[in-house]
Amino acid sequence: MEKNSVYEQTSSLKKLHPIWIGFRLFKSIRSLILFIVFLFIVLDMSSNSIFSWYGTTLIGLFTVYQIGASVLEWYRFGYYFDQEEIYVQKGRFVKMKRFFPLDLVQGINQNTLLIHRMLGLTSLLIDVGSSDRDSSIKLEMITIEEAEQIKKILSKYGNIQVNEPVASDKDQKEGHKDKNFTHHYTIETNEILIASLTSLRLLFFLSVLYSVYSQLSQFLPIEEHINKAIAYFQTSIQMLILGIALLILCSMIYGFLKTFIQYGGLVVTSDPHRIYMEKGIGSKTSSSIPKDNIQALSINSGLIHRMLKIVNVRLISATDVNDEDIKASNILFPFINRKKAFTLVPEVVPSFEITGSMSNIPKRSILVKLLRTMYIWLLLPLGIFLFIPGFWYIAVLAFVITLTSQIVSGLCSSYSLNGQFLQLRKVGVSTRLFIMRRDRIERIMLSETMIQRKMGLASLKVTTRARPTKVITMHDVPIQIALQCQSWFINED
């Protein structure tokens, strides 16, 4: 089909399900609530009848705008697939029309929320490999049959295979038996349990409780009952301990359920060209990423996870755009034992190797790091003590955390140059390990401050070919190593 005919036959363009309008309005309720809070609390409009009338009028106009904009956005959005390209038309007030060749499609992610499954709908996120901000096409609220048809078109006429790996669980398992798919990893319940127990879910749980209490107290007389419950648990030390234990237990259950719903059923498989991931209980997400698009690996762990040897493995790829759905799909293992991850990563991504032996940066780098962050651990606390002494605890925290992280960074940060691979490990409050291949590095730069030059140190800045560009900076490595890395990158041999 020629482009002109696609332009002319806009009536034949496929559209999202009309229920998308209600879904979009539901998501905009949060913005409406914030708008109401701003009007009646920040501007105190509820205390004056005139301002209250204006506030109500503004809320009404805001609601009408949201409804009109959602309806218009749905009405003017359309798409079309043929054997060569994807045509997309969108825009609330200014209509935009774009073509994307099928052979440039990098990947497709399928996200089926619980409400989608109840309505027989799903959502597709198609990465079209564009270099601008419109690098993906979101088809929210389309039928499952339409999604399957789109995947068949992309599989038949594009450069990706998407039909078997992102099908149903039963079909997927059968497909793996019949096709050239390799099963690498299935998340275990004990991994989810450990991850939920070592996260900050308690703080989130308390914030959720307080938020629910704040909202309900405006409409229901529950404050008196809450005060009675608190007073009941304060009657004795035993009851206080019981109340704290119940609160911690509830937060643990909340954390486990939230983590289980998000990551339960995580399965990682691959074929010779792509990596496939499925996760989620209730709301299911399926995604795939080409192995050739993987530019680097990032293995991270927080303070508590580091003590328990749990890491998060993320793929830095050419499709690493500023889209939360695509970023989420690039997480290979959300939490996994460190030793197990080091075994599985080369199996899933055979073009990368992980070196266990690394060299620490010189201990003299601690002085440079402390001088570099002096404004945080010295000047900031000093300013707080002088001008806002009531927040002295913030000054103490800034001093202790910054000083400790910089000392630990100088003692534990390390590097490795092994054949085709460069590894940089940055240690502080958290640990980040980057593994990069020479042929997938855009450039390597080194810089020196006056203090670094006197101590024989330099900062190494590595730019990978991700989109957007990913820059990894390693401070205070020996100048000889920095020069060696630069020479290693320039020379192929």
Which of these three, 263, 298, 320, is where a domain ends? 263
Contact (Cβ atoms closer than 8 angstroms) between residue 110 and residue 322: no
Average pLDDT over residues 210-228: 72
pLDDT of residue 33: 67
CATH number for the domain spanning 384: value is 2.30.29.30
Lowest-pLDDT choice from 25-39, 125-139, 423-437, 456-470: 25-39
136 located within any domain: no
Does residue 366 share a domain with residue 489? yes
425 located within any domain: yes
Lowest-pLDDT choice from 28-32, 51-55, 279-283, 392-396: 51-55
174 located within any domain: no
pLDDT of residue 1: 45
Structural domain count of the chain: 2
Average pLDDT over residues 258-263: 86
212 located within any domain: yes
Which of these three, 263, 289, 318, is where a domain ends? 263
In sequence order, what E strands does 144-176 have? none
Q: Is pLDDT above 90 for 368?
A: yes
Average pLDDT over residues 177-182: 65
| Per-state percent for the chain, helix, strand, coil, to nearest 5 | 50, 25, 25
Instruction: Provide the β-strand partners of residue 142.
Output: 122
pLDDT of residue 67: 86
User: 212 is in which domain, residue-wise?
Assistant: 191-263
pLDDT-based confidence at residue 340 (cuts at 50, 70, 90): very high
Cis omega before residue 334 (within 30°)? no
Does residue 381 share a domain with residue 251? no
- At residue 308's C-alpha, the angle toward residues 305 and 310, to 5°, is 55
pLDDT of residue 426: 95
391 located within any domain: yes
What percentage of residues in the chain have a pLDDT greater than 70? 80
The overall average pLDDT reported for the chain is 82
Lowest-pLDDT choice from 130-134, 202-206, 272-276: 130-134
Q: Is the pTM of this model over 0.85?
A: no
pLDDT-based confidence at residue 55 (cuts at 50, 70, 90): low
Which of these three, 228, 243, 263, is where a domain ends? 263
Burial 426-464 (b: 16+ CB within 10 A, else e): bbbeebbbbbbbbebbeebebeebeebeebebbbbbbbb
Chain CA centroid to CA 371, Å? 32
Does residue 368 share a domain with residue 239? no
377 located within any domain: yes
Lowest-pLDDT choice from 66-80, 262-276, 279-293: 279-293
